[in-house]
Amino acid sequence: MRLGACLLADMQIASSLLTNMSVTQILFWLLSILAVISAINVVISKNPVYSVLWLIITFFSISGHYILLNAQFLAVVNIIVYAGAIMVLFLFVIMLMNLNKELEPQKHKWLRFIGVIAGGSLLLVMVAALKDAESAKQMAQVKEGDIGLINYLGNVLFTEYVVPFELSSVLFLSAMVGAVVIGKKE
Amino acid sequence: MPINYYIFLSLTIFCIGIVGVLTRRNAIIIFMCIELMLNAVNLLLVAFSKMHHLQQASTSAMAGIDGQLFVFFIMVVAAAEVSVGLAIIVMLFRNVHSVDVNFLNRLKH
């Protein structure tokens, strides 16, 4: 009986919290929780294929964050390039190697423990350092502002950043030649 | 939305990627964790660009657009990196029939 009353009170608190938050905030928290949970699952799943699928979910939630920040071009490019091209490449390689059975030997238990401790301390130190920083009080503009639209991005990309853009095409060409040379059977 | 939240979210995803690189032995999963770290950095760059845009909105209309272009170039470099890296992993698998990074210590000999 008391448990039920407690649960009811909790639900009332939760619903009042929800009504106090705007839609943007609710979406932000949902996408953040989804991104973090699926990122954790990328690391802990045993089967590499499941890791790839969780990583795709992470990329979609990060794209959701881009849409929330009104960076529409980057959201679409993120989905096309990462979730569409790179992850399919990963899946093909995993299936080509027939790695989808759990034959990989695990790292030593101690080494895993030390790795988690090291990453956790980095997170702790960075959060503690940035918690009270002066610039951390600023606001990021959500759901408005035009700079994420393809019109303005394209203007700047093809005037100020045209040299890096052309250089990246050379980079792509050399990466393609490199991949073919390395992957060729001799 | 305070920039604080975006900083902490990106830090969390970045540190999950670091833990993955440190604790897994499968080369492909290590590679995916590197992609995770790149994406955390991209998210933070976009958030900072929107923060800068809000600050400088009165002086110039296009303030902060550089950050989003950097994200674009990071994606370009990541795609090139993935193609070469996966070719190296395929070659490694063809030679030693495993993607366990511990086998890479034969590069010493």
Domain boundaries, chain A: 149-186
Fold for the domain defined by B3-108: Helix Hairpins (1.10.287)
Q: What is the mean pLDDT of residues B83-103?
A: 84
CA distance A27 to chain B (A): 11
Given the cut 0.85, state whether the ipTM is greater than it.
yes
Is the confidence at residue B14, as pLDDT, over 60? yes
Is the confidence at residue A53, as pLDDT, over 90? yes
Which B residues, 20 through 79, put their C-beta within 8 Å of a C-beta on chain A?
20, 22-26, 28-29, 31-33, 35-36, 39, 42-43, 46-51, 53-55, 57, 61-66, 68-69, 71-73, 75-79
Per-residue pLDDT reduced to its tens digit, A116-125: 999 999 999 9
Half-sphere exposure of A141 (CA within 13 A, CB side): 19
Cα angle B94-A106-B79, degrees, rounded to a multiple of 5: 50
Q: What is the mean pLDDT of residues A5-34?
A: 76
Contacts of residue A28 in chain B, CB cutoff 8 Å? 1, 5
Which carries the bigger pLDDT value, residue B35 or residue A186? Answer: B35
Q: How many CB pairs under 8 A join A and B?
A: 239
The pLDDT of residue B1? 80
- What residues contact residue A66 under an 8 Å CB cut-off, 6+ apart? A72, A74, A75, A78, A148, B43, B46
> A179–B87: do the CB atoms touch at under 8 Å?
yes
Which of A62, A99, A135 to mutate: most B Cβ within 10 Å? A62
The pLDDT of residue A16? 63
| Cross-chain CB nearest to A86 (options B20, B54, B79) | B79
> B39–A28: do the CB atoms touch at under 8 Å?
no
Per-residue pLDDT reduced to its tens digit, B59-89: 877 888 889 999 999 999 999 999 999 998 8
Percent of chain B with pLDDT over 90: 53
pLDDT band at B8 (very low <50, low <70, confident <90, very high): very high
The pLDDT of residue A135? 73
The pLDDT of residue A125? 94
Is the confidence at residue B31, as pLDDT, over 60? yes
pTM exceeds 0.95 for this model? no
What is the rounded average pLDDT for all residues in chain B? 88
The helix/strand/coil state of B2 is: strand
The pLDDT of residue A42? 93
> A25–B1: do the CB atoms touch at under 8 Å?
yes
- Contact predicate B15/A122, CB 8 Å: yes
The pLDDT of residue A99? 67
Which carries the bigger pLDDT value, residue A5 or residue A95? Answer: A95
The pLDDT of residue A38? 95
The dihedrals phi and psi of B98, each to the nearest 5 degrees, come to -165, 155
Per-residue pLDDT reduced to its tens digit, A64-89: 999 999 889 999 999 999 888 899 99
Residue B100: its H or E element: none
The pLDDT of residue B37? 94
**Range with the lowest mean pLDDT among A20-34, A48-62, A93-107?**
A93-107
In whole angstroms, give the CA distance from residue A116 to residue A123.
11
A37 and chain B in contact, CB less than 8 A: no
